[in-house]
Structure 1
Amino acid sequence: MSSLKVLVPIKRVIDYTVKIRVLPGGKGVDTNVKHAMNPFDEIAIEAAVQLKEAKKASEVIAVSVGGAKSVETLRTALAMGADKAVHVETDADVQPLEVAKLLRAVADKEQPQVVILGKQAIDDDSAQTGQMLAGLLGWSQATFASKIEVEGDSLKVTREIDGGLETVRAKVPAVLTTDLRLNTPRFATLPNIMKAKKKPLAKLTPKDLGVDITPRLEILEVAEPPKRSGGRKVESVDDLIDKLKNEAKVI
């Protein structure tokens, strides 16, 4: 099989080191804080760049859906080794199905053989976009990948599952989603950050792609998880079972 063109969707999210603060009224969270590339998407970029370095991929294209500041995230992807970027600019809060439709339209334009994206974004934890995209494209899919190997006209993918590891073969074209153990993303070096400024970055809008991004879901309330109460000692197993059953109500 000739070298693959790889499309890597990435998302700008609140940095994982930031403590999230719920806004008064419970309609959302404070977003006026430090942002960064979604950690699982960093792993996806690294996976694509490694395929290119191994001569298994010919081109890596990063794409992001979001506001003007998403360009910063795309430049980071370019500094990590992506060849070009596509910014689908919108200030709307785009939900997974609409993101998948936008990515399908970008895939139709760019004609990649493989799409690699993080298994989930750490802001909404939906873990839906990759699967929806594969369904819309009608492509093979392999989710939660911890190892990717190119073998002929297919990909051999080791998946993280509840019971351990599962190895599957996915025919190209395919959509893959990345898990934590796939790799350790590289840092963008200063020289590569400077080079990234000269790499091509195309701008599109949902209208350009013919996709309606009207939300289908409404957030009714956002709330912090309940604060954890202190532990306590019990005198016997029977006492423990009684408290688990009658107080904690978990059995």
Structure 2
Amino acid sequence: MSDAALPTAAEVRAAAEAVKEALDRHLAAVERRTGDEDPDVYAAFNELAAAAEEYDELLYDRYDEVTPFEIPTPDDGVPYTGPAEPAAFSVLIRRDYAVVEPPRLIAQAERVAAHDRDAELVPDGGTAGALGVLFGEYEPDEIASRYKEFGLEEGDSTLWIAASEEMAEPGEWLNSPFGHTDPEDVMHRFDVSSVFDEETDEFGEEADEDEGGHTGQDQPARPGLTPA
């Protein structure tokens, strides 16, 4: 890049100030959040991610230096190409669980079936039948918040917000509810994974071993949220 095309020192400084302001807004949103999926926190995270990326690019172009910030993105990196103002949208959620205590899961289902005539627990249904009873009784968000009570262990989870041209007709996609989603229609994606904790722990261990506290590697972020 020629000197004429380089960002100015003032532009780099302005980008740094934008990161500071975005950090303040993100912290303020976190401090007043109303739940684990607070939209204000998501919006502030996205703004912080964009500001950090802009600053990182300008800093590198001007001074050939990098920041320790790493904003995780989906591995495929598919860009959003849908409408800027979608008329409708779909929310797709995947949450993984391991059944670590089958007797506890079955006991919870038996308790529900004992008090609800519509919740029929097949005697030989095992954990498969128990899951049908529990998810028929409780909302998925309640099970996610009480998973230990049901003998479950959390795995990764992801939430996608995908744009649509118009609201689907009743029953239109029920035979294949997830097959119609194009990755390029995903406006926002939020991931939660223990991999963020593991990466952070690994960095911390390496930093302890280094007398100067610097590993020579970029420090991974642990946002728990991944914008599309």
Q: Give the TM-score taking structure 2 as reference length.
A: 0.21
If the length of structure 1 is used for normalisation, what is the TM-score?
A: 0.19
Q: 1 or 2, which has the higher strand percentage?
A: 1
- Which structure has the bigger radius of gyration? 2
